[in-house]
Amino acid sequence: MSEIIDKLAVLETVSKKLEPNEKIREEIHRPIINYAQHFLNTVNQTKVYNKIDYEIEDHFPSDFDDQGEPIEKAINHIRDYVHFPGLNPASGGHLGYIPGGGIYTAALGDYLADIANDYAGVDFASPGGVAMENSLIQWMAKLVGYPETCGGNLTSGGSIANLIAVTTAREAHNIKSANIPKTVIYLSKQAHHCVDKAIRIAGLKECILRYIEINEKFQIVSEGLDKQIKKDISNGLQPFMVIASAGTTDVGAIDPLSEIGKICKTHNLWYHIDAAYGGFFILTEEGKEKLKGIELSDSVVLDPHKGLFLPYGLGTIIIKNKKKMHEAHHYDAAYLQDVASTDDVRSPAELSPELTKPFRGLRLWLPLKVHGVNPFKACLEEKLLLTKYFVQEIQKIDGFEIYLEPELSVATYRYVPKTGDANLFNEALVKTTHEDGRVFISSTTVNGVFVLRLAVLSFRTHKDTIDLAIEVLRDGVEKVLSENTFAETVN
């Protein structure tokens, strides 16, 4: 017996290293805070993209010391081998893909959530945490014009949110394996690839996927959609679901949301809208107008880690008919008999694939409480205006043309050289800007045309960033021209 007690005492001493006392907490805390302060003080002054010429894996061996090392050493490692190489998504100069955010108060929300480790998947365990998350869902539901009877879930991001929507739709329309070959899903080639992935993961890849014609603004042609649905019905197929986008990733297009809503109602189809990127522009007057019809959908995805500038890790799915969401996701387990009740439609675990999950609500609730909604509105309006400003200014440089007038905050444009292949030129140009690294832009290919994208969504992007982007593009053109056979100069 005493042997056990002696051993326990030894183990307790060593294991207590995991529970630093206040003094040690302060010692660990300080260098972390100092580093975070320095990171934030210089975030818009350092390069947004850093190419490395060594094997990054060499710095991440798969073994760890038994004894540990000083926090300062670990922080230096993070600085040099995580934060330095590649893309800095926290920078306002991140103007590629769909930029993320990283507002400070959200990080503090995460800190508190992790310290308390609230079990916000289940109402029984954390009624406050669950109520907080549900209040956020209701706030977003009001924004898109859903009734209070809707349900939702705070997910890790847009991909899982889309998956929850597709799964709920499948259950709501009682799609079984026997009728899958006759079941039709309608979407456009502009839908985010995570939608295709969700369809596959939800077991629906053998449904008929109809990629509906899009117009010159990359929007679903609603007459074409209606015609196809009628044709499918007359051919004995079973139209099931339409997936529209409110802000596509490629060019920021918004499908005709109201018209699609009417078509879905007429044919009794599940109407899903992926508004992961564009949804929060509804907080602006311009966005509200452009997103009219969003309220007609059965389910909608909105990503606070895009449009509300949060650090990565927060998407949202809202489903108009909460009962359907619950039916698709609820569970029973003997070991949870004290927790579960059949009428529990509050717990996130009853409405999503997750049981244990991070308490994601605090990272959104705290910023909304502390800052209020106004700075978010202003920031979104600023992004729309900055995009217009970019479009205006870039066209002042001879050779640059706008590919598509931006709907929201994604601008597509390219440089057309006087001689040579424009696609190759723009490919070289985007590479040059990455080597430059002062801002980060990305590219896409639409209808065989290689175009550059400028996506304005970081809360740290302001007018000076756009001016810098224009300077980088101008310098880039000169560099490509000087290094290639494109014989001309930039005005």
Binding site for ligand PLP (CB under 6 A): 98, 157-159, 192, 194, 245, 249, 274, 276-277, 303, 315
Concatenated DSSP letters of 150-215: -EEEEESSHHHHHHHHHHHHHHHTT--GGGGGGEEEEE-TTS-HHHHHHHHHTT-TTSEEEE--B-
Q: How far is the CB of 303 from ligand PLP (least distance, A)?
A: 5
Q: C-beta of 281: minimal distance to ligand PLP in Å?
A: 12
Element of type H or E holding 272: strand 270-275
Q: Are 480 and 473 in contact (CB under 8 A)?
A: no
- Report the SS3 class of residue 41: helix
Amino acid at site 1: M
Q: Please identify, using beta-carbon distances, which residue of 120 and 410 lies nearer to ligand PLP.
A: 410
Of the two residues 314 and 470, which places its CB atom closer to ligand PLP in the complex?
314
Alpha helices by DSSP H, listed for 294-452, are: 304-307, 322-329, 362-371, 374-394, 422-436
Cβ 477 to ligand PLP shortest distance, Å: 28
Cβ nearer to ligand PLP, comparing 310 with 439: 310
Among 310, 366, 362, residue whose Cα is nearest residue 116: 362
Residue 302 or 481 having the CB closest to ligand PLP: 302
What CA–CA distance (Å, rounded) separates 194 from 159? 5
Please give the torsion angle defined by the CA atoms of residues 277, 279, 283 and 289, in that order, rounded to the nearest 10 degrees: 120
CB closer to ligand PLP out of 194 and 242: 194
Edge-to-edge strand order for the sheet containing 442-446? 400-404, 410-415, 449-455, 442-446
- CB neighbour list of residue 431: distance below 8 Å, 6 or more residues apart: none
List the alpha helices (DSSP H) in 202-301: 222-234, 257-267, 285-290
Smallest gap from Cβ 306 to ligand PLP, in A, equals 7
Minimum CB separation of residue 86 from ligand PLP in Å reads 17
CB of 85 to ligand PLP, least distance (A): 21
Rounded Cα–Cα distance for residues 218 and 188 (Å): 9
Q: Which is nearer to ligand PLP, 126 or 155 (CB)?
A: 155
The tokens for 291 are: 């997103």
Nearer to ligand PLP by Cβ, of 245 and 299: the residue is 245
Residue with smaller CB distance to ligand PLP, 126 or 284: 284
CB atoms under 10 Å from CB of 7, counted, come to 10
Least distance from ligand PLP to the Cβ atom of residue 409, Å:
12
In the complex with ligand PLP, which residue's Cβ is closer, 192 or 438? 192
- Minimum distance from residue 245 beta carbon to ligand PLP (Å): 6
What is the closest distance, in whole angstroms, from the C-beta atom of residue 144 to ligand PLP in the complex? 15
